[in-house]
Amino acid sequence: MTSGVQMILALLIGVGLLIYLILKTKIHAFPALIISASVIGIIGGLGPARTIEAISSGFGGTLGSIGIVIGLGVMMGKLLEISGGAEQMAASFLKTVGKGREEWALGLTGAAVSIPVFCDSGFVILIGLAKSLSKKTGRSIVVLGISLAAGLVATHHTVPPTPGPLAVAGIYGADIGQMILVGLFLACFILVGTILYAKTLAKKIEIDVDDLIDQAAQKFDEEQLPAAGLSFSPIAVPIFLILLNTLFSAFEIENSLASVVTFFGDPAIAVMIGLLIAIYGLVSKLETAEITEQLEKSLASAAVIIFVTGAGGALGSVLRASGIGDFVAEQVAQFSIPMLLIPFVIATLVRLVQGSGTVAMITAASITAPIVANSSLNPVIAAQATTVGAMIFSYFNDSFFWVVTKFLGLDVKQGIRAWSMTTTVAWLSGLVGLVIMNIFI
């Protein structure tokens, strides 16, 4: 019989090995997660055969629920990028928010665009707009650029079908519709906190926008942009269908209409509909070969997320099969640590060590899902605690840190003050929102 000491030792060695492999070696996060799962299983007493079985079942089970959605979502994001739909959403927000509130408009734009589009791509797409606004209005490019980046991060971390929160939802078994609702609530807290902080940077960091204009010219002229309604529809329609399905499930509605809603409100079907809207609406004038080429390019980036997500599910499966999760839950129950803080703190630590928010989410979820399963904490809250915990202090080991600082012309010291501190404000703001939401769910 495996002792408690052996279980804890397996967990510490496995997680320590995972962090070392990702941070200090050339090994990618995908094989690193599989290696870590194997070590934990063998040291934890599962034995080689049961460890392999747990890895295989965890990998397949996780991807069975979310792998399709990740692939379709990334394809849809690419079409929004090449069609000008993302830029049209930005222009629409600006018209709605009005002059003098450009930072709020850019924050909201980033929040909308980053649901299907990766932060790096979204920032590169939209930074030209921020620079044009800065040139036209005299507003600080640092404030506008950081507000845009903050909006991108807010929903990228909290709102499915963005791959990170979608993967975490799958690992915890959280309802996707509820994840979207809670994620949007948290994103509001994060946006307010980060944009208020960004506005304080105007007098602290001065960058001449004229030196930056040529780095990111707008890709589309205004008359080339698609209609606003068409631009929003690939995102709005899937979200509406998923939320409708959640409402029908919550009220336990069972009739012929509910069957239709259940089908079309399934995340995979809903995102597929969004993709079809993008193909036959946003890029209908492009040649078939060009659309196919762009979609295939997008799948290359999706593959990384899909494999890392599956590997995270494998790690969680090993932790459950070995009984480590149950043992840790029993030990945690003896202390007065709020269960809400366990996934939050673990995600925070992993993010600080290895940099990637998505990997931090998946790793923390894999470790804590077995613990949460034996507690009264709502899986949606646990999942969102993981996504928010992974927001803290973006710095050198985070690729987005370099994207933001490069396009805004910031040196490393300025980048830490502007972007690293902004993500830390996002982390704190999200925690406040989590505590409030946990009272009601």
Q: pLDDT band at residue 216, thresholds of 50, 70 and 90?
A: very low
Render pLDDT for 392-432 as a digit per residue (tens, 0 to 9).
998 776 778 888 888 888 888 898 899 999 999 999 999 99
Encoding tokens for residue 179?
């994840």
Higher pLDDT: 135 or 90? It is 135
Q: For the segment 229-240, what is each residue's pLDDT rounded down to a tens digit?
A: 998 898 888 888
What pLDDT was estimated at residue 325? 67
Instruction: Yes or no: say if 176 and 378 are a contact pair by the CB < 8 Å rule.
Output: no
* Region of residue 409 (left: phi > 0; alpha: psi -120 to 50; beta: else): left
**Does pLDDT of 65 surpass 70?**
no
- Measured at the CA of 170, the angle between CA 120 and CA 39, to 5 degrees, comes to 90
- Indicate whether 248 pLDDT > 60: yes
Q: Would 328 be classed as within a structural domain? A: no
Cα distances from 211 to residues 109, 130, 208, 413, in angstroms, run 24, 14, 6, 19
Q: What is the pLDDT of residues 143-154, one digit of tens each?
A: 999 999 999 999
Domain membership of residue 430 (yes or no) is yes
Residue type, 46: L
Q: pLDDT value at position 215?
A: 43
Identify the pLDDT of residue 142: 94
Domain that holds residue 196: 66-309+338-440
Residue 352 in this model has a pLDDT that exceeds 50: yes
**Quick check: is 35 in a domain?**
no
Measuring CA to CA, which residue among 304, 305, 389, 301 is closest to residue 349?
A: 389
At residue 418, the pLDDT reads 95
Distances (CA, A) of 323 to 3, 10, 53, 140, 342: 10, 11, 15, 54, 18
Asked, for residue 314, whether it belongs to a domain, the answer is: no
Measured distance CA(297)–CA(158) in Å, rounded: 25
Choice among 54-68, 209-223, 338-352, 392-406 with the minimum mean pLDDT: 209-223
Mean pLDDT of the residues in the chain: 85
Q: Which amino acid appears at position 238 of this protein?
A: P
Neighbours of 132 (CB within 10 A): 16
Answer whether residue 144 is part of any domain.
yes
| Total count of domains within the chain | 1
Do 352 and 392 contact (CB within 8 A), yes or no?
yes
Please provide residue 45's backbone torsions phi and psi, each rounded to the nearest 5 degrees.
100, 5
CA distance 351 to 393: 8
How distant, in Å, are the alpha carbons of 143, 216, 392, 421 from that of 417? 12, 23, 13, 6
Q: Which residue did the predictor score with more confidence, 335 or 252?
A: 252
The answer to whether residue 230 is domain-embedded is: yes
Burial class (CB within 10 angstroms; exposed 0-12, middle 13-18, buried 19+) of 287: exposed
Residue 91 near residue 222, CB atoms below 8 Å: yes
Q: For residue 419, give the DSSP letter.
A: I
**Is residue 42 situated within a structural domain?**
no
Read off the pLDDT of residues 261-296 as tens digits, 9 standing for 90 and up.
Answer: 999 988 889 889 999 999 999 998 889 999 999 898
Confirm whether 395 is domain-assigned: yes
Task: Name the CA dihedral angle for 53, 328, 344, 250, rounded to a multiple of 10 degrees.
Answer: 70
Return the SS3 of 146: helix
Residue by residue, DSSP assigns 33-51 as HHHHHHHHHHHTT--HHHH
